[in-house]
Structure formats: structure tokens, C-alpha cells
Amino acid sequence: MKITQVEAIHLRLPVVNERCDGSQDTLVVKVHTDAGIVGVGEVDSSPSVAKAIIDAPISHKISRGLTECVLGQDPFEIDRLIHRMYEGTIFFGRQGAVIQAMSGVEIALWDIVGKAVKRPVYQLLGGGFRKKFRAYASILFGDTPDETERIGRELVKQGYKAVKFGWGPMGLSEESDIAHVRAARKGLGPTAELMVDAGLCWDTATSIRRAKQFAEFNLAWLEEPLHPDNVDGYRRLCESTPPMRIAAGEEICDIKEMVAMMDAGIDVVQVDVTRVGGLMRSKRMGWDAADRHRLCVNHSYKTGINIAASLHFVAALPNTHYFEYCVEQGDLRKNLTKQAFPVIDGDISVPEEPGLGVDLNEAIVAKYRVG
């Protein structure tokens, strides 16, 4: 089998604002083959930047677009093709958007292989550790503590047993930070699990102080209290014996950088399959976390493609039982894939169909396609 075409398709809602919900635009990748099998993948990046990285013509030997690196190649040889993409882009790559763009192509390769051999991707990854995960509802804090409390109450009513609030007003002031987390706990009641995503808002000393102040709200974890470059800050925070797990990793694309963050002491390693270069590199990070006896959890916004790929990823790990489930309700999030991935009694199930187990709703692709 040979790869005949790579399509990078930029989708964008008519209005995109600063909300960090991640589902207002996306880049879908379709990889076509001479066997008629088409694989789909997704990239979480700046879609127009990632599209340029995929489509770029050759500049010289180590400055190529990703399409050129994989065209005419056998889609089964995934490790070799990851290497070709990495080496073909080292002049402008090795990090960031190039690795994020690789994710879309790599995930589509797994989809092709799964469809060809009629097996779900998690089995190709050697997995099947779990088939169901606790879906934690992932949502932004309300603008006011009252709104945060109301959102929490509503999500528990919908059946979620764990909820993560993030970004928005965190970091405004000590009083406001504590009021929002108190309201979140009040809305959820005493039994549902509560996670807080600080959205990179504090310096090291403040993060150590907030972790202690949040002790009474019984957090399952405190996420990204610090900038991802502040690895020494994470080390100091983790050494301060915070009364909850510390989570980080979603900004990281590089394997060495993720290992450094683990070695700084974080408890929850957050890997986004559409940002770190795809499923094989995600699996490496997940097992690096397992070797260190840490939890590994997906980071997952975007669309049903990301949800499916993330489910196959976590099913291939022994060290996870949570699943990040964005509850934003944009059209791309809800309707790009025909599969809805419902949360039933707080749990989400891993697809059992061949490949990723997703079919695109082409009417939605046509409606939001840019260019």
C-alpha cells in the first residue's frame, strides 16, 4: 500500500474569540492511499500554521513539508515515517507546531492500518488495559463564583462524577481565586472529584501558597499552576508537599521535555495526542510516566477525532483511569464526527470499530472549511 495524497483541511467557526475552549477551529488531516483507504487525523495547533507545515514544498533536504516526507511511502511503516517527518523538518522543526502537525498525519496512518487489518487502533498499540474511563467534565470557570457554582451543580446533575474548572478568572487575586474554587466545590457537593486548572497564572511562590489554601476543597489535582518553562518552579512546588496531585504537560510536544517535567516531580502527566506528534510518541510518554509510577491522562479538546484517538491512547496504558472530556458545545465539537462518544453514568467507552472508529460528517467539513 502507498500513500497517494495528504489533505490538510482547516475548519473554523464564523466567530472565534479568546475563550480557551479549543473547539472553535481545527485542522483535520486526511491521508489517502492507493488501496482506497483514507485515514483521518487531527492537529491541535494554530491550524493555518500547521497546514503550511504539511503543505510546504521542499526548500532543501532537511526543510520539507510533511506531505512530501510521506508521499509514496507505505502507511504501515509508522515509526519510519515519523522519523522521516522529524528528520525532513529539523531545519525549522523539532518542537512546537511541526511536532503538532506531525500528529495529524501520524494519527491518520494508524487509522489506515486499523481499517486495513480490521482492528481498533488500541489493539495495534498493544493495549486494551481498560475499555472504560471516568470522563471528567472539563470546562472553564464561570465569570463569577455564583456562575461557577451553578455550572458545577448542573454537571453533577448530568451524571459527571468528576469536573475540572480552568482558566478564566484564575489569577485575578487571592480572594477571587479562593472564592472560585470554594464555589466549584460547593456546586459539586462533597463527593464528586474536583480538579482545578490554573492556566499558567501564578509565579512559583504563589502556586505553593495557593496549593495550601486549596487544601480544604479536596482537589484531585491542581493543573498548570506555572508556566511550562518554569520546570524548576514545578520542582519547588512538588517538593513543598502540596495537599493534592500536581498536573502538567499539555503545552509540551518534546519527549525529553516531558521527561524533565516528570523528573521535576509532577504527579499527573498530561499528553495530547494531537500535539505531541501522534499516538506512538504519546505512548512513549505514557510509559515513561508508568515507569515513574505517575498517572498519565489525556489532554483533549478539539473534535471527535481527538476524542477517539485519545481513547485508543489511554486504552494502551496501564497507568490511567481518567479521561478529559470537554463539555463545550460548539458545532465542530459536537458534529464533525458522526460518533458522539456519549458519557454514560460518568464513563466513556473506547471505540471497537476498525481504525479510530470515526466517520466524518462531510456536511460539517464543507460548512466550516477555510479555503
Contacting residues toward Mg ion, per CB under 5 A: 197
Cβ atoms of residues 167 and 140 within 8 Å = yes
Residue 63's SS3 state is: strand
Rounded to a whole number of angstroms, the minimum distance from the CB of residue 141 to Mg ion is 12
Shortest distance in whole angstroms from residue 250 CB to Mg ion: 5
The nearest distance, CB 248 to Mg ion, in angstroms, is 9
Q: Measured from the CB atom, is 6 or 200 closer to Mg ion? A: 200
User: Which residues neighbour 154 within 8 Å (Cβ) at sequence distance 6 or greater?
Assistant: none
What is the smallest separation between the CB atom of 335 and Mg ion, expressed in angstroms? 24
Q: Are 224 and 198 in contact (CB under 8 A)?
A: yes
Within a 10 A sphere around the Cβ of 87, how many other Cβ atoms? 14
Minimum Å distance from CB 355 to Mg ion? 28
Q: Rounded to whole angstroms, how far apart are CA atoms 149 and 187?
A: 4
Lookup: cell for 35:
488501496
CA angle 221, 209, 202 (to 5 degrees): 75
First-to-last alpha carbon distance for the chain, in angstroms, is 30
Q: Closest CB to Mg ion among 64 and 333?
A: 333
Per the document, the length of the chain is 371
Of 25 and 197, which has the nearer Cβ to Mg ion? 197
Contacts of 276 (CB under 8 A, 6+ apart): 99, 103, 252, 253, 255, 258, 282, 285
* Nearest-approach distance from CB 20 to Mg ion, in angstroms: 8
Which residue number, 111 or 197, has a Cβ lying nearer to Mg ion?
197
In the complex with Mg ion, the residue whose CB is nearer, 21 or 197, is: 197
- Give the shortest CB-165-to-Mg ion separation in angstroms: 11
**Strand, coil or helix: what is 140?**
strand
In this structure, are residues 17 and 24 in contact, taking their beta carbons and an 8 Å threshold?
yes
Q: Which is nearer to Mg ion, 89 or 282 (CB)?
A: 282
Nearest CB to Mg ion, comparing residues 106 and 197: 197
Q: Quick one: 149 or 197, whose CB is closer to Mg ion?
A: 197
* Summary count for the chain: helices (H), strands (E): 14, 12
Q: What are phi and psi of 226, to 5 degrees?
A: -125, 160
Burial of 11 (0-12, 13-18, 19+ CB in 10 A): buried
70 Cβ contact partners less than 8 Å away, ≥ 6 residues apart: 3, 6, 31, 81, 84, 85, 105, 109
Using CB atoms, what's the residue nearest to Mg ion?
197
Rounded least distance, CB 29 to Mg ion, Å: 23
